[in-house]
Structure 1
Amino acid sequence: MQKQLILLGTKGCHLCEDAERLLQELNLPYQYLDIIDDEKLLQHYEISIPVLLFASTDNTNELCWPFNTEMISHWLMHNE
């Protein structure tokens, strides 16, 4: 079973848009969570978005910006 990939970001963030394009280039299914909708996420990730992580984990293994498609693939391989 594949883990659900989550992209944390917020509207108007050009880096978050770049991260979405990278995930689309890799044809990776993901859920986008806007940190502005969650005070806890906002406090934790406000200056580090975009961030990739998996749902239902302790989020100790995150991929924070800057990243590219090669880095995403490598990170995913080591987190299966």
Structure 2
Amino acid sequence: MKINFYSRPNCLLCEEGLLTLKLVQEDMDFDIEVINIEENEQLHEKYMLMIPVVEKDDQIIQYGNLDYVTLYEALHR
């Protein structure tokens, strides 16, 4: 399973969100692809007010303040 994690540099909420996602990763097997929205104008426009954004199979799982329980339950399905 591959999870997209949309973020940008120097974003404290993104750093915290990635740590939360990595905690979930310790309990289940998936790969994380970190995507810098500043490298793609369309992604920047789409996600700039939402980051960090966790996406699985083109579906947003959670964005903004990420929490372990929500991520785990959504990814465990």
Q: Shared fold by TM > 0.5?
A: yes
Cα deviation, residue 75, structure 1: 1.3
Q: Any gaps of 5 or more consecutive residues in structure 1?
A: none
Between structures 1 and 2, the one with greater helix share: 2
| CA distance in 2 between partners of 1:24 and 1:77 (Å) | 14
Cα deviation, residue 5, structure 1: 0.4
| Residue matched to 1:10 | 8
Q: Secondary structure at the match of 2:44?
A: helix
Over the residues paired in the alignment, what is the CA RMSD in angstroms? 1.4
Q: Secondary structure at the match of 1:47?
A: coil
Q: Any gaps of 5 or more consecutive residues in structure 2?
A: none
Q: Give the counterpart of 1:32 among 15, 34, 43.
A: 34
* Deviations 1:26-62, CA, capped at 9 Å, x for gaps: 22530100000000000000000000012xx4x3x20
Q: Secondary structure at the match of 2:31?
A: coil
Identity of aligned residues (%): 18
Q: Secondary structure at the match of 1:30?
A: strand
For this pair of structures, how many residues does the alignment match? 72
Superposition pairs for residues 38-57 of structure 1, below 5 Å? 38-54=40-56, 57=57
